[in-house]
Structures are given as C-alpha cells and as structure tokens.
Amino acid sequence: MKRGTRDVVRAFLDELGTVPFTEDEPLYRIGRRQLLAEMVLAEVRDDDLEGMALRSLAEVAREQRLSPTDLEVVGRLIAARRAHLDVVKGSSTS
C-alpha cells in the first residue's frame, strides 16, 4: 500500500474511533467520515484480505451516514471493524 493511501486509511480508522453511536453528531464530522470512506473505496484495492476488510468497513461507514444510531447499521459497522482488526492481527503474527 502506498504511503498516501496508508495516510488516508489511518485518518479513516482514527475517525471511526470517535463515532458516538448514541447521540447526535455534528454534520462536519459525518461529512469528514464519509469523505474518508469514499477515499478509502477509491484508493484501496481489494486484492488482499486487509484491502477487502478496509473496503467493507468503508462501505458500512458510508451506509451509517443515513441512520447514525440505527442498531442494525451500528452492529454491521462494529462487525466490520472487528473483522478488519482480526485481519490486521492475523497478518502481524504471520
């Protein structure tokens, strides 16, 4: 993964770490997360497990924009985040 792409991915993951699932969120933060999700989808290839996990996470994050506190969407976002972390943990122990 190129350095610029890694920077986008890092910013996207950092942004996901600040999502308040139970309260209203300022529009600029939702917009920033959506922009980062779109950038991940545009920049990250799905030719390896980490890329597939990141793209899946970005797709769910993009979907969360429409209903930020919907429990089903939040559950999918959490599951996608866990899947990404499992992939990262698995690749670091190999």
- pLDDT given at position 3: 84
- pLDDT given at position 91: 76
**Containing domain of residue 43, as a range?**
3-93
- pLDDT given at position 22: 65
- pLDDT given at position 19: 77
Rounded distance, CA 36 to CA 43, Å?
10
- pLDDT given at position 64: 78
Digit-by-digit pLDDT tens for the chain (94 residues) are 788 889 999 999 998 888 776 667 778 888 888 999 999 999 999 888 999 999 999 999 888 777 777 788 888 988 999 999 999 898 776 5
- pLDDT given at position 94: 58
- pLDDT given at position 42: 95
| Number of domains the chain contains | 1
Rounded distance, CA 55 to CA 45, Å?
8
Rounded distance, CA 94 to CA 40, Å?
25
Rounded distance, CA 83 to CA 75, Å?
12
Cβ-based burial of 21 (10 A; exposed 0-12, middle 13-18, buried ≥19): middle
